[in-house]
C-alpha cells in the first residue's frame, strides 16, 4: 500500500482500476473497502482524490494486511477550499459545511482524465469506479477506447429505486408497494448548494457498464431485481457487493481495548442502546437537552456519542463541546456512558451487550446495524436518511421511528425519547424487531457458502478436511461432499474436534459402488492401483454435486467450490452457474507444480532453483497407466479462479512466486494455506498412545521413525533388508509395518508382514515394531524423535518439516521422487535412501544401515537437523497472527467473501 509513483503508473498491467470517491466521510468507507477487496484480487488499484480526503482514507487503511494491499496505490491532488464550521441551528440539517469540499473535487476532472489516459497506454483495460457524485469528474473517461465506467452507489438500492418509482410508478410486488406508498417527501433533505452540485453530476452522467451498490441481495434483493428487470435487454448490470464492513467480529479480551468496550463487558446481554448520529450531524442545544432527559428517564443502559459534526477537512480546527444538564453525567454514571470522542461504532454494535441503536439512518450505519443484528430507533436528519428510515421500519421491520420526516422541524420531547427507548430495549415489540434483525444478520453471514470436493484418497483427505474446518471456523458454511466411504473416513478424522469451531461444517455423502481390490506389493510400479476404482467412482458425483451447487446458489450470494485437482472433471459444470467460483486445491507442493511448468517451457529461474530443477528425476514409474488416463480427464476440464496449495511460503515461497509470475491470466491467484497440521503440539499425559509412552523413555533426538504412509506395500525382500539394516545400525527406531490401504479402508483383512525369526525380541531394547495405526504427527513432534525414514508423500514431508525432523528419503510413486529431491537438494534437510533411477532394485541392508547412521549419528545428520529446526521455527512464525500463512488465510477469506 503506497502513494503511487510515476514508474508504478507506467508499469504494464492487464487490467487496472481507478477509484474516484466523493470527498466525504460517509462515502469514503465503501470506496476504500471496495479498493481493498479489488487489490487483494491481485489487480492494481489507484485511489484518487483530494489531498485532504486521501489523508482520511490512508488513516482508515492503517493496520490492513500488507499482503492484501500491495496493489493499492493512493494518488492525491492538492486543492484548496474553505472549511466553515457546522451550524447546529440550521433549518435544514444537511451538512452544508461539506459542500466546499465537494466542489473542490470538480478540480479533479483534468488530472483524473490524464491519469486514466496514461494507464490506458500501458494496460489492456482501465476500469473507473466513481461515486455517483463524482460523475462530473469522470465525464471524459468514456472517450478513452479501453476505459469503462462503473458507478458506485454508497446508498441503498431501495433509495435509488424509490426515485425511479416516484417518477414512473412501475408495477411492483405488493410487499414493495406497501412501503413505497409511504415514501417521505424530499423536502428538507438537502441544501440548495448540494442540489446545485448534484444537478451537475446528473447532467454529466457517463454511459457506464453498471452500478455497484453498498448492500447485499439478502437485504435488498427485491429492489435490485426490480432495477434489473427495468433495464431489460440493455446489458446494464447491477452488483450488490456489500456489506463493506466485517460481519464476524471476535471479542478477545486483548490489551488496549477501547474503554467503551470494556464498559460494555460489564453490562447484561442486549441491555444497552447505542446513541450516535454519525459524523455529519450537529444537534441543537434544545435537542441535546431533551435527548438527555429522555435517556435518563427511560431507566435503560446507554452509550451516547455526543460530539459535533465533522467539517470538510476533519484535520482542521476545533469542535464545539456540547453542554449537558448540570450533574447529568454523574447521575447516569451507573448505567450510562457519555462519549465526546471517536467511538468504535462497529465493535459497539457487534458487542453482545448492545441491544439497540438510536441512529440518523445514514446507510453505512444502517448496514452495520443490520449485519450485527441490532434494531434501530430511526431519527433521520437529511439526505437519504428519511427513506432509509422508512426501509428499516416498514420494509425490514427492524426498527421504530423516533420521529417521522414530516415532524423534522419539531424538537423531539424527552417523553418521546423515553417511550421509544423503552419500546426498543424492554418490550415485546422490541424483542420482535430484535428477532427480525438477528434473522437478517444470519442470512447475510450465510450469503457465502463453500463446497469442498476432495479426491477419495487418504493422502488427499487431510488437507481438504482441515481446510474445511478452518473455513467453517471463520463462520462460513462448508459442505464437505464425497462418496459414502470417503465421508466415513472424514467423519472418523473429525471425531473429537471442538464443536464450537465446526458448527458450519456439514458432511454430504453420495452412495457409489466400486471394487476394493487387495494391494500388490510385488507390482513393478509401486503406485497403489488398488485405489483407482475409488477414484473412478468419484466421477459418478458430477450430477449430484452440480445439483447441490445449483440449490445452494439459489439461496446464497455466492457459492465457492474448492475441489481437488483430481476432481476437476466432477465440477466441470459448476462455472456455468452464475454466482459460483471454483478454486483448485493442490495437496502437493508448489515446487512440484512448478516443475511441470519448468519442464515444458524452461523459463529463467534463480540459480538456487535451477540447480535443483536440473536434477529432476524422470516421471517413469511414478504412476500407473490407469491413473494417467484418470488424470488426463481432469486436465481437459480445468476452469478455476485460483489455486490453493497445501504448503507455506516459508517452505516453498520461491516456487510460488515463480508460479505467480507465469500465471495466465495475471489476476489468477495462488494461496499457500498450509501447513494443514498443527505446528505446536501439547503431548498430554492422559490417554497417550503406547508409542508415545515408549518415546518418553528414550534420549532426545535418538529415535528414527520409519513409516511409508498409507499407500505403500513393501515386498518380503524389502522388509527383510530393511529389518536387518535397522538392527545393524544400532540406532533406536519405531517402525510402522503395515499393508497399504485399499480403496475402502473399512473392508476386508490386511496382510501381516513376516520379520526374521526372533527379530522383535532381539531389538526390543531399542526398537518398537508397530503393526497398527500410528499417531505420526505426535511421534514426529516428540523430543525423542530425531529422524524420519519416509516415502516422501507431501503430507509426511510437511509434517516432518513443521516438527523440525530431517528425512531419510525413500520415494515409492506419484509426487514422491520429486518431493525427495526438494527435501534433499532444495531444503537440504534430508538424505536419499535410494535414487529414483534405482527404484527397481531392492535396497540392501548395508545401505539402510549407512543412511540411518548418517542421519542419526554424524556431523552431516546434525547439519540437516539444524536446518530442519530453522524451517520449523519459520513455519511456526508464519502461522502466528501477523505471519505470512495467517495473512494468506485472511486474504483468501477476504477474497471469497468480497
Cα-Cα-Cα-Cα torsion 509, 896, 214, 143, nearest 10 degrees, comes to -130
Residue 811 grid cell = 520415494
- Specify whether 460 is catalytic: yes
Both 96 and 222 in a single domain? yes
DSSP, collapsed to helix, strand or coil, labels residue 507 as strand
Both 145 and 46 in a single domain? yes
Both 456 and 591 in a single domain? yes
Among 210, 240, 270, the domain-final residue is 240
Instruction: For residues 466 and 650, give the distance between their C-alpha atoms in angstroms, rounded to a whole number.
Output: 19
- Specify whether 813 is catalytic: no
- Looking at residue 392, the DSSP 8-state letter turns out to be I
Residue 520 lies in a domain: yes
Which residues of the chain are modeled with pLDDT < 70? 1-13, 40-41, 61-69, 83-96, 232-235, 248-255, 308-321, 446-450, 457-459, 494-503, 516-524, 528-529, 637, 664-667, 682-686, 740-752, 898
CB-based contact 596:655 (threshold 8 Å): no
Q: 814-823 burial, b for 16+ CB within 10 Å, e for fewer? A: bbbbbbbbbb
Among 426, 444, 462, the domain-final residue is 444
What pLDDT does residue 772 have?
A: 87
Structural domains in the chain (count): 4
Both 429 and 496 in a single domain? no
Both 99 and 190 in a single domain? yes
Whole-Å CA distances, 387 to 169, 193, 242, 536: 17, 21, 19, 57
Picking from 181, 367, 340, the residue whose alpha carbon sits closest to that of residue 276 is: 340
**Sequence-ordered alpha helix ranges (H) in 569-619:** 590-601, 607-613
**Residue that is written with C-alpha cell 447485499 in the block:** 216
CB-based contact 454:464 (threshold 8 Å): yes
Whole-Å CA distances, 707 to 490, 522, 774: 22, 18, 9
Backbone angles phi, psi at 793, to 5 degrees: -60, 145
Picking from 222, 215, 138, the residue whose alpha carbon sits closest to that of residue 180 is: 222
DSSP 396-460: S--EEESS-GGGTTSPPPHHHHHHHHHHHHSSHHHHHHHHHHHHHHHHHHTTEEEEEE--SSHHH
Both 875 and 887 in a single domain? no
Residue 632 lies in a domain: yes
Residue 246 lies in a domain: no
The length of the chain in residues reads: 898
Residue 192 lies in a domain: yes
Both 570 and 666 in a single domain? yes
Instruction: For residues 368 and 246, give the distance between their C-alpha atoms in angstroms, rounded to a whole number.
Output: 9
Residue 778 lies in a domain: yes
What pLDDT does residue 523 have?
A: 63
Please work out, in degrees rounded to the nearest 5, the angle formed at the alpha carbon of residue 834 by the alpha carbons of 832 and 837.
120
**Sequence-ordered alpha helix ranges (H) in 671-830:** 690-696, 716-729, 759-762, 776-780, 794-802, 816-821
Both 405 and 471 in a single domain? no
Residue 247 lies in a domain: no
777: left (phi over 0), alpha (psi -120 to 50) or beta: alpha
Both 536 and 655 in a single domain? yes
Residue 376 grid cell = 434501530
Count of CA atoms in the C-beta half-sphere (13 A) of 583: 25
Among 240, 269, 286, the domain-final residue is 240
Both 889 and 872 in a single domain? no
CATH of residue 176: 3.40.50.2000
What pLDDT does residue 117 have?
A: 95
Chain center to CA of 112: 32
Q: Which of 564, 652, 741, 744 is flagged as catalytic?
A: 564
**Sequence-ordered alpha helix ranges (H) in 458-556:** 458-473, 484-494, 532-537, 542-553
Instruction: For residues 629 and 516, give the distance between their C-alpha atoms in angstroms, rounded to a whole number.
Output: 19
Residue 341 grid cell = 470522542
Chain center to CA of 300: 38
**Residue that is written with C-alpha cell 483534468 in the block:** 110
Residue 551 grid cell = 440449490
What range does the domain containing 592 cover? 446-678+883-896
What pLDDT does residue 730 have?
A: 96
Both 475 and 505 in a single domain? yes
Q: Which of 29, 460, 486, 895 is flagged as catalytic?
A: 460
Residue 323 lies in a domain: yes
Residue 683 lies in a domain: no
Instruction: For residues 529 and 548, give the distance between their C-alpha atoms in angstroms, rounded to a whole number.
Output: 30
What pLDDT does residue 126 have?
A: 94
Alpha-carbon Rg of the chain, whole angstroms?
32
Q: 680-708 burial, b for 16+ CB within 10 Å, e for fewer? A: eeeeeeeeebebbebbeebeebbbbbbbb
What pLDDT does residue 856 have?
A: 97
Both 426 and 306 in a single domain? yes
Amino acid at each position: 500500500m503506497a502513494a503511487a509513483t510515476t514508474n508504478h503508473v507506467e508499469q504494464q498491467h492487464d487490467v487496472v482500476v481507478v477509484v474516484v470517491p466523493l470527498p466525504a466521510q460517509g462515502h469514503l468507507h465503501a470506496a476504500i473497502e471496495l479498493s481493498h477487496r479489488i487489490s487483494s484480487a491481485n489487480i492494481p488499484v489507484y485511489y484518487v482524490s483530494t489531498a485532504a480526503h486521501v489523508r482520511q482514507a490512508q488513516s482508515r487503511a492503517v493496520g490492513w494486511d500488507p499482503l492484501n494491499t500491495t496493489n493499492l496505490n493512493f494518488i492525491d491532488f492538492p486543492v484548496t477550499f474553505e472549511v466553515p464550521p457546522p451550524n447546529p441551528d440550521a433549518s435544514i440539517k444537511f451538512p452544508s459545511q461539506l459542500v466546499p469540499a465537494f466542489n473542490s473535487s470538480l478540480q479533479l476532472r483534468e488530472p483524473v482524465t490524464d491519469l486514466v489516459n496514461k494507464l490506458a497506454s500501458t494496460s489492456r483495460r482501465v476500469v473507473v469506479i466513481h461515486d455517483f457524485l463524482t460523475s462530473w469528474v469522470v465525464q471524459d473517461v468514456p472517450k478513452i477506447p479501453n476505459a469503462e465506467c462503473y458507478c458506485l452507489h454508497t446508498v441503498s438500492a431501495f433509495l435509488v429505486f424509490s426515485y425511479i418509482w416516484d417518477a414512473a410508478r412501475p408495477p411492483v410486488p405488493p410487499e414493495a408497494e406497501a412501503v413505497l406508498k409511504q415514501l417521505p417527501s424530499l423536502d428538507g433533505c438537502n441544501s440548495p448548494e448540494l442540489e446545485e452540485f448534484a444537478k451537475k453530476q446528473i447532467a454529466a452522467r457517463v454511459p457506464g457498464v453498471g452500478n455497484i451498490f453498498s448492500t447485499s441481495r439478502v437485504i435488498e434483493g427485491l429492489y435490485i431485481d426490480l432495477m434489473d428487470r427495468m433495464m431489460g435487454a440493455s446489458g446494464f448490470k447491477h452488483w450488490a457487493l456489500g456489506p463493506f464492513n466485517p460481519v464476524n467480529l471476535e471479542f478477545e479480551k486483548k490489551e488496549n481495548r477501547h474503554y467503551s468496550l470494556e464498559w460494555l463487558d460489564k453490562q447484561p446481554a442486549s441491555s444497552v442502546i447505542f446513541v450516535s448520529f454519525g459524523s455529519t450531524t450537529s444537534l441543537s442545544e434544545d435537542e441535546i437537552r431533551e435527548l438527555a432527559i429522555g435517556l435518563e428517564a427511560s431507566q435503560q443502559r446507554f452509550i451516547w456519542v455526543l460530539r459535533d459534526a465533522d467539517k470538510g477537512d476533519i484535520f482542521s480546527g476545533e469542535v464545539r463541546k456540547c453542554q449537558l444538564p448540570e450533574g447529568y453525567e454523574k447521575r447516569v454514571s451507573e448505567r450510562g456512558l457519555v462519549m465526546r470522542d471517536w467511538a468504535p461504532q462497529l465493535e459497539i454494535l457487534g458487542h453482545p451487550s448492545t441491544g439497540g441503536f438510536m441512529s440518523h439512518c445514514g446507510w453505512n450505519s444502517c448496514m452495520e446495524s443490520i449485519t450485527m443484528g441490532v434494531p434501530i430507533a430511526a431519527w433521520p436528519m437529511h439526505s437519504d436518511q428519511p427513506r432509509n428510515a422508512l426501509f428499516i421500519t416498514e420494509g425490514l421491520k427492524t426498527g421504530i421511528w423516533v420521529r417521522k420526516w414530516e415532524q423534522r422541524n419539531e424538537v423531539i420531547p424527552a417523553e418521546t425519547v423515553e417511550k421509544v427507548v423503552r419500546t426498543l430495549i424492554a418490550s415485546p415489540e422490541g424483542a420482535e424487531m430484535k428477532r427480525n434483525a438477528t434473522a437478517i444478520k444470519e442470512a447475510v453471514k450465510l450469503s457465502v457458502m463453500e463446497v469442498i470436493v476432495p479426491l477419495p484418497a487418504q493422502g488427499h483427505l487431510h488437507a481438504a478436511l482441515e481446510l474445511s474446518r478452518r473455513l467453517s471456523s471463520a463462520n462460513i458454511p462448508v459442505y464437505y461432499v464425497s462418496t459414502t466411504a470417503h465421508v466415513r473416513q472424514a467423519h472418523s478424522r473429525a471425531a473429537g474436534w471442538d464443536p464450537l469451531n465446526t458448527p458450519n461444517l456439514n458432511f454430504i455423502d453420495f452412495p457409489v459402488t466400486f471394487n476394493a481390490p487387495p494391494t500388490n506389493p510385488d507390482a513393478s510400479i509401486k503406485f497403489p492401483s488398488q485405489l483407482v476404482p475409488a477414484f473412478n467412482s468419484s466421477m459418478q458425483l458430477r450430477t449430484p454435486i452440480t445439483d447441490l451447487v445449483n440449490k445452494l446458489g439459489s439461496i446464497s450470494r455466492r457459492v465457492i467450490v474448492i475441489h481437488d485437482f483430481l476432481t476437476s472433471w466432477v465440477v466441470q459444470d459448476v462455472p456455468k452457474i452464475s454466482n459460483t467460483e471454483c478454486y483448485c486445491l493442490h495437496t502437493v507442493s508448489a515446487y512440484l507444480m512448478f516443475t511441470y511448468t519448468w519442464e515444458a517451457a524452461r523459463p529463467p529461474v534463480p540459480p538456487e532453483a535451477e540447480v535443483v530443477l536440473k536434477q529432476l528425476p524422470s516421471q517413469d514409474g511414478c504412476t500407473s497407466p490407469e491413473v494417467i488416463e484418470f488424470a488426463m480427464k481432469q486436465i481437459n476440464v480445468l476452469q478455476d479462479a485460483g489455486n490453493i496449495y497445501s504448503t507455506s511460503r516459508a517452505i516453498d515461497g520461491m516456487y510460488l512466486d515463480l508460479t505467480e509470475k507465469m500465471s495466465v491470466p495475471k489476476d489468477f491467484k495462488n494461496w499457500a494455506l498450509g501447513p494443514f497440521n498443527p505446528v505446536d503440539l501439547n503431548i498430554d499425559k492422559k490417554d497417550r498412545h503406547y508409542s508415545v509412552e515408549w518415546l518418553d523413555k528414550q534420549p532426545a533426538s535418538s529415535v528414527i521413525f520409519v513409516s511409508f504412509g498409507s499407500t505403500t506395500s513393501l515386498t518380503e525382500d524389502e522388509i527383510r533388508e530393511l529389518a536387518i539394516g535397522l538392527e545393524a545400525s544400532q540406532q533406536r527406531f519405531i517402525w510402522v509395518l503395515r499393508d497399504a490401504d485399499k480403496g475402502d479402508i473399512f473392508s476386508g483383512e490386511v496382510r501381516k508382514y513376516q520379520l526374521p525369526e526372533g527379530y522383535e525380541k532381539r531389538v526390543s531394547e531399542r526398537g518398537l515394531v508397530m503393526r497398527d495405526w500410528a499417531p505420526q504427527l505426535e511421534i514426529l513432534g516428540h523430543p525423542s524423535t530425531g529422524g524420519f525414514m519416509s516415502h516422501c508423500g507431501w503430507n509426511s514431508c510437511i509434517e516432518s518439516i513443521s516438527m523440525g525432523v530431517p528425512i531419510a528419503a525413500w520415494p515409492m510413486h506419484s509426487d514422491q521422487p520429486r518431493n525427495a529431491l526438494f527435501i534433499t537438494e532444495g531444503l537440504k534437510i534430508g538424505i536419499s535412501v535410494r535414487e529414483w533411477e534405482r527404484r527397481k532394485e531392492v535396497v540392501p541392508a548395508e545401505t539402510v544401515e549407512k543412511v540411518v547412521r548418517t542421519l542419526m549419528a554424524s556431523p552431516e545428520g546434525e547439519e540437516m537437523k539444524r536446518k530442519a529446526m530453522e524451517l520449523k521455527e519459520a513455519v511456526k512464525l508464519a502461522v502466528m497472527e501477523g505471519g505470512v500463512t495467517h495473512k494468506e488465510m485472511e486474504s483468501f477469506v477476504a477474497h471469497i467473501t468480497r
